[in-house]
Amino acid sequence: MGKITEALKKVSDERISRIQKKPEVQYIIRKIDNTTIDQHIVSFHDAGSPVGEQYKILRTNIQSLAHTKNYKTFVITSALAGEGKTITAINLAISMAHDLDNKSILLIDADMRKGKIAKYFGLGSHPGLSELLKGNADQEGVLINPGIPNLTVVLAGKTPKNASELLNSKKMEQILSYFKTRFDYILIDTPPVMPLTDACILGPVVDGIIMVIQAGKTQRDIIAHAEQRLYQARAKTIGYVLTNIEYHLPQYLYRYVHQYDGNYSYEEKAAAKA
C-alpha cells in the first residue's frame, strides 16, 4: 500500500506542476483601444470570439430561467478564491447588457473585502455597497455607468470591519428590493463560499446561485462541501460555470464561428469543397 500511495502522490504532484507551469493563453482575437476595461473582459473586447460565445450561451440559459421561473437576481460565487468568479460575473453582465431586448442589468460587487470589479472596469474610488449599507450613501448615489449601454455597476466601496454583518442586515434586503424595481436582472459577485459566509448570507434572498469552478484546480470534495454549506443556508444552486477548460476546436468549426457573420456560412464552404 505504501508504494501505491507514493505512486499516486507522484502522479498528483506532476499534474499540479503541469498546471502551474502552463503558459497563459491569449483568447482575445481583437482588443478595443482607448478604454480602461481590462482585456480579460472578452464580452467587451471581442464578443464574437469562441469564448465570448460561451458567455452568450450562459446568458441564454439565464434568460430561459427568467421566462419560466421569473428569476432575476443571481449570486455569482465559487468554492475557493482564484476560480474566475469575478471575470465570469463581469463578462456575463456585459453579454446580458448587449442583448437586443435592451434589458437593464445591475452588477453589484458584494466582495467588500477584496472587490475587483472597479479594477477590471478601470474605475476610480467611488462610494459603493459598504457606504450604502452603513447609511453613508443612497441607492442612486452608488450607481455607476461604466460606458456600456444597459449596464450599471455598484462597486464594493471601502472595506468595512463587519462585512458579513452588513450583508446579513435588513438594510441589504431593502436595497435588493429597491433595485429589483429598477433593473431587469441583478448579478451579485460575492466572496468564495469556503473561507467566508457572505455567499451563504445572500443566497436565501436571491433567486439562485451560480457556482464557478476552475477545471484542474478545485477538488470534488471541496465543491461538495461548498454546496452543502449553501444548501444548509437554504440557498438554491441553479447552475455551474467551468473555467480554464482546454479543448481542441476543429478547424472547420473555427472557420464556421469566425466566417458566419461575414456571409460565408459553413454550408457554402462545404459546397465549395464538394
Q: Which residues pair with 240 in a beta bridge?
A: 211
Closest CA to 224 of 243, 205, 241, 237: 237
The pLDDT-based confidence of 14 (bands split at 50, 70, 90) is low
Mean pLDDT across the chain, nearest whole number? 83
Q: Which residues pair with 48 in a beta bridge?
A: none
pTM: 0.79
109/127 same-domain check: yes
Identify whether 217 is part of a domain: yes
pLDDT at 49 over 90: no
Q: What is the pLDDT of residue 35?
A: 82
Q: What is the pLDDT of residue 268?
A: 32
pLDDT in tens, 106-139: 999 999 999 999 999 999 889 999 999 999 999 9
pLDDT at 251 over 70: no
108/236 same-domain check: yes
193/67 same-domain check: yes
211/262 same-domain check: no
pLDDT at 105 over 90: yes
206/104 same-domain check: yes
193/113 same-domain check: yes
pLDDT at 269 over 70: no
Burial 171-182 (b: 16+ CB within 10 A, else e): ebeebbeebeee
CATH number at residue 46: 3.40.50.300
pLDDT at 159 over 50: yes
48/101 same-domain check: yes
Closest CA to 46 of 34, 35, 30: 30
267/166 same-domain check: no
Phi, psi (deg, nearest 5) at residue 69: -125, 5
157/68 same-domain check: yes
225/269 same-domain check: no
Domain count, the chain: 2
Identify whether 3 is part of a domain: no
Domain that holds residue 254: 250-274
Identify whether 216 is part of a domain: yes
Closest CA to 27 of 247, 255, 259: 247
Beta strands in the chain (DSSP E): 73-78, 105-109, 151-154, 185-189, 208-214, 237-243
Identify whether 2 is part of a domain: no
Q: What is the pLDDT of residue 47?
A: 84
| Residue 261 CA to its chain's centroid (Å) | 26
Q: What is the pLDDT of residue 15?
A: 60
Distances (CA, A) of 152 to 46, 148, 182, 218: 20, 8, 11, 31
Q: Which residues pair with 212 in a beta bridge?
A: 78, 241
